[in-house]
């Protein structure tokens, strides 16, 4: 059997084994910041991971905007203006990447990847600093050029940059352009074109503005190979990103005539271009003994012709997509998710078909993913689950809450019910969530309740059932609604909350769940105190793993005040 026949058979088998589903009824893209002005051809979005909850959007012709990550945000600032420095024309040129140093919070360093025109087209990676007095402004005077590379053609410039879990800066460059890689850059290890590079920006080697990580595959080689190379044999990776949970580097490599591919990039590996396109041979099919790494997935140009790589979803708002790779096609405007465990054939799911040009994805500090629509009136979109009501709940449990730190002693589970807002307030749906010890928040997903007006009831293992305020709350499928029990007594029906420090808390002590805190609860706690009971049990009201007088005091105070459930 010839190598070409083997490659075709492999691809056909892969297509048979790979499942494809349509979830377009469940997931939709919605404008994330409807009050924000549009963007002119946005190509990158990221966050600085500095705890400020800001987002940065880069436009192709050099403007970088910064704004707060809030659905109601209506203003933005110019973080940096590279207009007049980056290439002013060309569909694959201009400002192409932005990455913030892992220690940005302290050193204020960030990095740009762009093309510019100087005796021909060139690619460049440069470091800048943000102002210490005005963190929403970058200082062009702080420029430090790290790397400059001549481009033989105007296309296939790649340009994505990102820091990996190892702290090194990764850079993608296309094969130099034209068509079919006429200079054979993908397979040549003496050039940086057609590669993923890895450099250390925290030190410098002689003659360089950076250093070569000693674990790079060609570190100090004597064959003339470029030491910056991390992986090679790629055509034009248009966006790669790290899944920090697994450490894997996911990339979307744009194809030539027939196939788009998704790769997991590993150190020193050869991904086959220009001998392979996806699972298929390209041109002469010269693959014997080359050790090419096949993609984990490819799709034909009948469904898309320019892949836009995305992220493995690690957010909290879309649990059905957790751990799946989100990506799109620039040409067809289709958004997909790919479920791949590294062992079984991947499952590809269509999330939404659009007529948009999808240029990139972004991620915020909470690992929620966004989609960039490439247009002169471009916008930032988010994915919503149209089949569920999503409730962003905030609550504090009296026994767990430390008024000195403003935190809970540990995170714990609550069950949340939605009740009809009209008598007799019947249960419509329920969900379970974990209240975070620091943020006091947890997401609830109600898959059965339709859009409507509801009372929210929170139950905890030793807390008093607590209802939301009079009148009910309007909750919508496909939207995220927020409810905060901690800001005022009036947030609970009948003002049934306890002020502890600056937070209103759900009462603790109803250990027998009879809707009142009374002598029967005290008796149960007292019995466990006498028996020196330890562990995280229902009578341990303050979650310190021992039932003692401090737990009894909490329940006794509430019993003496005749605390009981107040319901509509």
- Neighbour tally for 392: CB within 10 Å: 16
Say if residue 5's pLDDT is above 50.
Answer: no
Write out pLDDT tens, residues 189-227: 999 999 999 999 999 999 999 999 999 999 999 999 999
Percent of the chain with pLDDT over 70: 96
Token pair for 408: 């809970």
Write out pLDDT tens, residues 240-277: 999 999 999 999 999 999 999 999 999 999 999 999 99
What pLDDT, on the 0 to 100 scale, is given for residue 285? Answer: 79
Say if residue 160's pLDDT is above 50.
Answer: yes
Model confidence at 283, pLDDT cuts 50, 70, 90, reads confident
Using CA atoms, how far apart are residues 378 and 500, in angstroms rounded to an integer?
46
Model confidence at 20, pLDDT cuts 50, 70, 90, reads low
What pLDDT, on the 0 to 100 scale, is given for residue 276? Answer: 95
Say if residue 6's pLDDT is above 70.
Answer: no
What pLDDT, on the 0 to 100 scale, is given for residue 417? Answer: 98
Using CA atoms, how far apart are residues 16 and 6, in angstroms rounded to an integer?
15
- Cis-peptide, bond into residue 244, ω within 30° of zero: no
CA distances in angstroms from 30 to 71, 381, 478, listed in the order given: 11, 5, 9
What pLDDT, on the 0 to 100 scale, is given for residue 3? Answer: 37
Using CA atoms, how far apart are residues 239 and 266, in angstroms rounded to an integer?
16
Token pair for 31: 């404008």
DSSP string, 225-284: --TTEEEE--S-EEEEEEETTTTEEEEEE--SSSEEEEEEE-TT-B--TTTEETTEE-TT
Write out pLDDT tens, residues 138-157: 999 999 999 999 999 999 99
Write out pLDDT tens, residues 95-123: 999 999 999 999 999 999 999 999 899 99
What pLDDT, on the 0 to 100 scale, is given for residue 22? Answer: 62
CB 533 within 8 A of CB 506: no
CB-count burial class (<10 Å; 0-12, 13-18, 19+) for 217: middle
Say if residue 287's pLDDT is above 90.
Answer: no
Please list the helix, strand and coil fractions of the chain in percent, rounded to the nearest 5, in that order: 10, 40, 50
- Global pTM reads 0.92
Using CA atoms, how far apart are residues 517 and 466, in angstroms rounded to an integer?
13
Q: Provide the edge-to-edge strand list for the sheet that holds 307-312.
A: 19-22, 347-353, 334-339, 325-329, 307-312
Average pLDDT over residues 524-550: 95
Average pLDDT, the chain: 95
What pLDDT, on the 0 to 100 scale, is given for residue 18? Answer: 47
What pLDDT, on the 0 to 100 scale, is given for residue 21? Answer: 58
Write out pLDDT tens, residues 321-366: 999 999 999 999 999 999 999 999 999 999 999 999 999 999 999 9
Write out pLDDT tens, residues 395-420: 999 999 999 999 999 999 999 999 99
CB 231 within 8 A of CB 216: no
Average pLDDT over residues 422-426: 96
Write out pLDDT tens, residues 373-387: 999 999 999 999 999
Backbone angle region of 323, left / alpha / beta, with phi > 0 → left and psi within -120 to 50 → alpha: left
Say if residue 9's pLDDT is above 60.
Answer: no
* Residues 6 or more apart in contact with residue 221 via CB below 8 angstroms: 227
What pLDDT, on the 0 to 100 scale, is given for residue 16? Answer: 37
Percent of the chain with pLDDT over 90: 94
What pLDDT, on the 0 to 100 scale, is given for residue 282? Answer: 94
- Neighbour tally for 248: CB within 10 Å: 17
Say if residue 292's pLDDT is above 50.
Answer: yes
What pLDDT, on the 0 to 100 scale, is given for residue 19? Answer: 53
Say if residue 8's pLDDT is above 80.
Answer: no
């Amino acid at each position: 059997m010839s190598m070409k026949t083997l490659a075709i058979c492999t691809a056909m088998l892969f297509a048979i084994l790979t499942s494809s589903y349509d979830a377009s009824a469940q997931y939709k893209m919605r404008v994330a910041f409807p009050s924000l002005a549009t963007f002119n051809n946005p190509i990158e979005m990221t966050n600085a991971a500095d705890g400020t909850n800001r987002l940065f959007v880069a436009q192709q012709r050099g403007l970088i905007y910064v704004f707060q990550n809030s659905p109601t945000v209506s203003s933005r600032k110019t973080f940096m203006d590279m207009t007049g420095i980056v290439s002013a024309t060309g569909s694959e040129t201009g400002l192409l990447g932005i990455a913030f140093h892992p220690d940005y919070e302290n050193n204020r360093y960030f990095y740009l990847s762009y093309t510019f025109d100087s005796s021909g087209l060139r690619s460049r990676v440069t470091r800048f600093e943000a102002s210490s007095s005005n963190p929403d402004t970058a200082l062009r005077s702080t420029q430090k050029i790290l790397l400059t590379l001549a481009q033989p053609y105007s296309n296939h410039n790649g340009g994505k940059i990102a820091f990996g879990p190892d702290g090194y800066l990764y850079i993608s460059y296309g094969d130099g352009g034209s068509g079919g890689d006429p200079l054979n850059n993908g397979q040549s290890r003496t050039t940086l074109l057609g590669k993923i590079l890895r450099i250390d920006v925290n030190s410098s080697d002689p003659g360089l503005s950076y250093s070569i990580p000693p674990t790079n595959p060609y570190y100090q080689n004597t064959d003339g190979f470029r030491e910056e190379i991390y992986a090679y044999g790629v055509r034009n990776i248009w966006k790669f990103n790290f899944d920090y949970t697994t450490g894997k580097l996911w990339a979307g490599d744009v194809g030539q005539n027939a196939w788009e591919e998704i790769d997991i990039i590993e150190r020193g590996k050869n991904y086959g271009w220009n001998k392979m396109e996806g699972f298929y041979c390209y041109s002469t099919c010269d693959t014997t003994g080359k050790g090419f790494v096949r993609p984990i997935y490819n799709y034909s140009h009948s469904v898309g012709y320019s892949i836009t790589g995305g992220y493995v979803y690690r957010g909290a708002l879309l649990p059905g997509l957790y751990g799946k790779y989100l990506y799109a096609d620039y040409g067809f405007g289709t958004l997909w998710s790919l479920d791949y465990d590294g062992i079984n054939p991947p499952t590809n799911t269509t999330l939404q078909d659009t007529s948009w040009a999808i240029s990139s994805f972004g991620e915020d500090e909470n690992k929620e993913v966004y989609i960039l629509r490439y247009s002169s009136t471009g916008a930032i979109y988010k994915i919503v689950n149209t089949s569920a009501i999503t409730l962003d709940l905030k609550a504090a449990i009296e026994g767990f809450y430390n008024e000195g730190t403003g935190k809970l002693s540990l995170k714990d589970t609550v069950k949340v019910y939605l009740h009809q807002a009209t008598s007799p307030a019947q249960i419509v749906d329920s969900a379970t969530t974990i209240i975070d010890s620091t943020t006091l928040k947890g997401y609830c997903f109600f898959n059965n309740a339709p859009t409507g007006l509801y009372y929210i009831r929170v139950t905890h293992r030793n807390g008093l059932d607590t209802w939301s305020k009079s009148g009910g709350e309007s909750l919508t499928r496909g939207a995220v609604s927020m409810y905060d029990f901690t800001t005022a007594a009036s947030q609970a029906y009948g003002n049934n909350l306890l002020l502890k420090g600056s937070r209103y808390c759900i009462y603790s002590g109803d250990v027998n769940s009879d809707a009142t805190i009374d002598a029967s609860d005290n008796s149960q706690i007292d019995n466990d105190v006498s028996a020196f009971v330890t562990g995280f049990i229902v009578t341990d009201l303050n979650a310190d793993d021992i039932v003692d007088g401090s737990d009894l005091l909490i329940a006794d105070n509430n019993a003496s005040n005749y605390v009981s459930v107040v319901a509509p």
